[in-house]
């Protein structure tokens, strides 16, 4: 690991951008790579029209060859079921699209979500932002300045969360410049980054990234998004090591997904693997009801039953908080695990 921290950040940064460009965008080439017969795929590829397919090579390398039901594959492969409509599902389940300040969400008192970059390295089919108008939220420097000014004027904010899309899609010089401006505000204590990029493409955690983040004079929290134990690769663990050593808090959030991780056993394995990697389980989200993702849904009663079993199997500090997002609430809503008669 020590060799990675060298003064060759420019070439390393080009590496992750090359890696990003080499990802799978055509389901048929991904199926071929996985030794799956494309003639069994039917008309599922049509769902690309709803949300393009994007799968980095590293993420594909973690999938089991020849297995249509691979839990990583199911998260990213377009499916006919995305055309189904279901009651209660909408294009904007969290009512985020209409915002007075584009690129800024201040729903919870002490923390604000800054959308740094639209788009992700991977397109997760269940994503609650799959219909998000990223083009309109692609920030001009001027809007970003306006959002920083908003944060400067709101002393109740002590934490800035970089989000997206995936904020690590942005270049490190841009991120470093933004972080420096935030660190200069006296009421800001913490910088949090919500990202799935290191999981699907560990190469993203490179020297240029370490340098600005580790030296930033704020508390630093990196919230990863890992849904299955198989996503915790040796490469990810290796690239996280310098961050752990530098005292960056590493957390994980996952989404409870049918066919992917919706059993007590899979959840126990996931959170053991996450903890082994030096990451603390943080949240397990119920699926946000976004149109096209209903086939991933696990209802509240099933989710409670799974977590009631998980708390028997894991020490308390390895159990993520089961939460859901309810419009208008001052924060995420924790779900009570006691069994309810109406379940």
Ligand X SMILES: *Cc1c(COP(=O)(O)O)cnc(C)c1O
Residue ranges with strand state E in the chain: 104-108, 111-117, 159-164, 190-195, 219-225, 249-255, 280-285, 321-324, 333-334
Does residue number 154 form part of the binding site for ligand X (CB under 6 A)?
no
Does residue number 108 form part of the binding site for ligand X (CB under 6 A)?
yes
Does residue number 97 form part of the binding site for ligand X (CB under 6 A)?
no
**Nearest to ligand SF4 of 53, 182 (CB atom):** 53
**Distance between CA 202 and CA 64 in Å, rounded?**
19
**Nearest to ligand X of 105, 146 (CB atom):** 105
**Nearest to ligand SF4 of 223, 319 (CB atom):** 223
Q: Of residues 44, 48, 107, 154, which one binds ligand X by CB under 6 A?
A: 107
Residue 65 burial by Cβ neighbours in a 10 Å radius (0-12, 13-18, 19+): exposed
What is the strand order of the sheet 104-108 is part of?
Answer: 104-108, 111-117, 159-164, 190-195, 219-225, 249-255, 280-285, 321-324, 333-334
Among 78-86, 103-111, 135-143, 294-302, the segment contacting ligand X (CB under 6 A): 103-111
Q: How far are the Cα atoms of 44, 153, 162 from residue 140, in angstroms, in the given order?
A: 36, 20, 16
Does residue number 250 form part of the binding site for ligand X (CB under 6 A)?
no
Whether residue 124 is annotated as binding a ligand: the answer is: yes
Least spacing, CB of residue 311 vs ligand SF4, in Å: 26
Q: Of residues 133, 259, 278, 331, which one binds ligand X by CB under 6 A?
A: 331
Question: Do 113 and 167 contact (CB within 8 A), yes or no?
Answer: no
Whether residue 127 is annotated as binding a ligand: the answer is: yes
Residues near ligand SF4 (CB under 6 A): 120, 122-124, 127, 129, 165-166, 196, 225
**Nearest to ligand X of 57, 107 (CB atom):** 107
Region at 42 (left for phi over 0; alpha for psi -120 to 50; beta for the rest):
left
Does residue number 105 form part of the binding site for ligand X (CB under 6 A)?
yes
**Distance between CA 291 and CA 289 in Å, rounded?**
6
Least spacing, CB of residue 148 vs ligand SF4, in Å: 22
Question: Do 190 and 154 contact (CB within 8 A), yes or no?
Answer: no
**Nearest to ligand SF4 of 195, 207 (CB atom):** 195
Which positions touch ligand X (CB under 6 A)? Answer: 105, 107-108, 111, 113, 161, 331-332
Numbered residues of the known binding site for [4Fe-4S] cluster: 120, 124, 127
């Amino acid at each position: 690991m020590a060799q990675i921290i060298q003064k060759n950040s420019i070439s390393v940064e080009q590496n992750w951008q090359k890696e990003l460009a080499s990802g799978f965008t055509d389901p048929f080439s991904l199926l071929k790579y996985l030794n799956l017969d494309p003639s069994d795929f039917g008309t599922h590829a049509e769902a690309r029209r709803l949300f393009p397919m994007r799968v980095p090579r590293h993420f594909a390398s973690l999938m089991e060859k020849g297995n249509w039901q691979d839990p990583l594959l199911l998260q990213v492969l377009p499916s006919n079921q995305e055309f189904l409509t279901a009651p209660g599902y909408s294009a904007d389940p969290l009512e985020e699209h209409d915002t007075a300040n584009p690129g800024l969400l201040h729903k919870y008192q002490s923390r604000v979500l800054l959308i740094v970059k639209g788009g992700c390295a991977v397109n997760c089919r269940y994503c609650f932002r799959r219909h998000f108008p990223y083009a309109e939220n692609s920030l001009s420097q001027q809007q970003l300045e306006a959002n920083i000014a908003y944060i400067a004027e709101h002393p109740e904010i002590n934490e800035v969360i970089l989000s997206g899309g995936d904020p690590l899609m942005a270049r490190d010089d841009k991120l470093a410049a933004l972080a420096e401006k935030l660190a200069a505000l006296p009421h800001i204590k913490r910088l949090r980054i919500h990202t799935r990029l290191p999981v699907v493409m560990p190469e993203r955690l490179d020297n240029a990234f370490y340098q600005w983040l580790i030296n930033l004079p704020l508390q630093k929290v990196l919230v990863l998004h890992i849904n299955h134990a198989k996503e915790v690769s040796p490469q990810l663990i290796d690239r996280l090591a310098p961050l752990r050593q530098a005292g960056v808090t590493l957390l994980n959030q996952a989404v409870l997904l049918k066919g992917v991780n919706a059993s007590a056993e899979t959840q126990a394995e996931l959170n053991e693997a996450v903890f082994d990697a030096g990451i603390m389980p943080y949240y397990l989200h119920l699926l946000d009801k976004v149109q096209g993702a209903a086939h991933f849904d696990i209802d509240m009663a099933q989710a409670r039953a799974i977590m009631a079993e998980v708390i028997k199997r894991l020490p308390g500090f390895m159990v993520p908080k089961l939460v859901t997002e309810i419009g208008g609430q001052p924060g995420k809503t924790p779900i009570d695990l006691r069994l309810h008669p109406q379940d």
